[in-house]
Amino acid sequence: MELESIRGCLENKTILVTGATGLLGMVFVEKILRVQPNMKKLYLLIRASDAKSATHRMHNEITRKELFRNLRKKWGANFDSFILEKVVALPGDITYTSLLGANEIRLRDQLCNEIQIILNSAATLNFDERYDVALDVNTFGVLNVLSFAKMCLRLEILVHISTAYVCGEKAGLIVEDFSLMDELVKRSTKSDLAIVEKTVADKILKELKAQDTSEKFITKRMKDLGTTRAKLYGWPNTYVFTKAMAEVYLEHSKGSVPITIIRPTVVTSTYKEPFPGWIQGLRTVDSVISGYWRGNLTCLPMDPTSVLDMIPVDMLVNSIITAIVMNGNKSSGIIYHVGTSLRNPINMSEMMNFLFQYCTTNPLLHKDGSPIKIDRLKMFKTMDTFRFYMQIRFMLPLEVVKLLNKEFDQYFRDVYVSHNRKLTSVMRLAELYEPYLLFKAIFDDTNSEELRRMASKKYTDAEIFNFDPKCINWEDYVMRTHIPGLWKNVMTKKSHSRL
């Protein structure tokens, strides 16, 4: 065993991962298996009715992904047996009080005697998720993980993945502590805020169901409720509000559990490992890239000088593994911002310049084979000026088309439906992402920088777990790694367009 290596510290360890089917959890699983095949056991909590279904999901949604191609090549014909020996899919859900369900007491006791490390990366990432769902997963799900952690007799550390944007819409330098949530702490002290909010959500949901309304209406009403309640307390959306409440709960309920909180910024495709550009799903910045590249997005409320804080997912995973090794068995919790805005910033204007260059050089095609032509994105520094422009440029002409439809027996119906759909999509995206497109804060990463420095002095293999933001060349990463990776791994699966 290598005593002075990060890999050596992971040898013979038993790890529980929640959210393993998500981007971050999956990259974490692949990295652990690749760098330390001698870890003892990797338990993955997967939503499923039984062990067979959980194992099926593990194979189909995790280990058979392209992400594991290097690991698959390394083990060859023995890959499946290696996975079966090292990885166990646990049927369960963080919304369950015991994670595993009421009938799995024997299994729970076994796990509590084995697990040494817990990574909680499970979350619903939708900004406008149903309030009841977001509370159950992002807030109370975290409490369930904490309760389970308190039963683990050999636990060395619980790492919780939060988000840097729990700061809400605060401006300036955001530090790595709980001070930005002082108001939530005060409210939680006076009354159990999360319980109050869950009571509100449950009451509204019960009333809606009693009215025998459609599921579609219920979903919309519960989404609107989440946004309203978040803004009431000063947060821009349901996602960051429920994540903020989870952090407050962790801080006040952790007891003796050694907890580390990781706050990543916008997570993007892999920088280098296991190969550049791997990603799954359209994430925040990718929705903008996709819409712009397809010619559907021509303007946004976006401050050209605002910093777009992105962190490649493999660098985030490296920071998590380093934090696990450096903070194991330490009673005092610590928070890490993992991002790039302080030490290697890229602003919105630079990002859009790279995007314009790439998309004009590599245009997507219309169904008739002609290239989709795009212009530079129009940026508006305030939401009011953006809305005014949209009103004059798009909404009023659309109203004219609507009137013509009535006069000419719905002759322009297809034109109206198509343009109305695009307009609705753009307005929804603008309203959801406004707080981040006009973001005025920089994330301090003093703790993360110290983690890097201490790891490089203590461990001989610290470079294998590099997460220094200064090493990123943004032009090269955006144009030669991220956008091509987004096209290959996500967009080609959702479109019939061709490069």
Does the reported pTM lie above 0.75?
yes
Q: Is pLDDT at 240 greater than 60 in this prediction? A: yes
Indicate the pLDDT class of residue 481, thresholds 50, 70 and 90: very high
Q: Is pLDDT at 2 greater than 90 in this prediction? A: no
Q: Indicate the range of 28-32, 208-212, 376-380, 479-483 predicted with least confidence.
A: 208-212
Q: Indicate the range of 62-76, 114-128, 420-434 predicted with least confidence.
A: 420-434
Distance CA 209, CA 464 (A): 53
Residue 499 confidence (pLDDT): 38
Q: Can 249 be counted among the known catalytic residues? A: no
- Reduced to 3 states (helix: H, G, I; strand: E, B; else coil), residue 372 is coil
Residue 186 confidence (pLDDT): 73
Q: Across residues 194-213, what is the average pLDDT?
A: 93
Residue 44 confidence (pLDDT): 98
Q: Across residues 393-416, what is the average pLDDT?
A: 74
The total of other beta-carbon atoms located within 10 Å of residue 476's CB is: 12
> How confident is the prediction for the chain on average, in pLDDT?
92
Q: Find out whether 244 and 184 touch, Cβ atoms under 8 Å.
A: yes
Residue 3 confidence (pLDDT): 52
Q: Is pLDDT at 294 greater than 50 in this prediction? A: yes
Q: Which residue did the predictor score with more confidence, 190 or 492?
A: 492
Q: Is pLDDT at 402 greater than 80 in this prediction? A: no
Q: Can 73 be counted among the known catalytic residues? A: no
pLDDT digits (tens, 9 = 90+) for 359-368: 999 999 988 8
| Phi and psi, residue 80, nearest 5° | -65, -40
Indicate the pLDDT class of residue 281, thresholds 50, 70 and 90: confident
Angle, CA 487 vertex, CA 481 and CA 492 arms, to 5°: 155
Q: Across residues 461-472, what is the average pLDDT?
A: 96
The total of other beta-carbon atoms located within 10 Å of residue 38's CB is: 12
Annotated catalytic residue within 239, 249, 358, 416: 239
Percent of the chain exceeding pLDDT 90 equals 79
Q: Across residues 228-251, what is the average pLDDT?
A: 94
Q: Indicate the range of 133-147, 179-193, 197-211 predicted with least confidence.
A: 179-193
For residue 29, CA distances in Å to 50, 138, 191, 230, 291 come to 21, 21, 39, 33, 31
Q: Is pLDDT at 418 greater than 90 in this prediction? A: no
Distance CA 248, CA 234 (A): 15
Percent of the chain exceeding pLDDT 70 equals 95
Task: Give the dihedral sign, CA 455/456/461/466.
Answer: positive
Distance CA 301, CA 296 (A): 15
CATH topology (fold) of 6-282+309-342+441-474: Rossmann fold (3.40.50)
Residue 360 confidence (pLDDT): 96
Annotated catalytic residue within 165, 243, 416, 477: 243
Q: What is the enclosing helix (H) or strand (E) of 17?
A: strand 14-18
Angle, CA 189 vertex, CA 188 and CA 195 arms, to 5°: 40
Q: Across residues 301-318, what is the average pLDDT?
A: 97
β 310-312/334-338 pair status: unpaired
Q: Is pLDDT at 200 greater than 90 in this prediction? A: yes
Residue 1 confidence (pLDDT): 42
Cis ω before 274 (30° cut-off from 0): yes
Q: Across residues 230-242, what is the average pLDDT?
A: 95
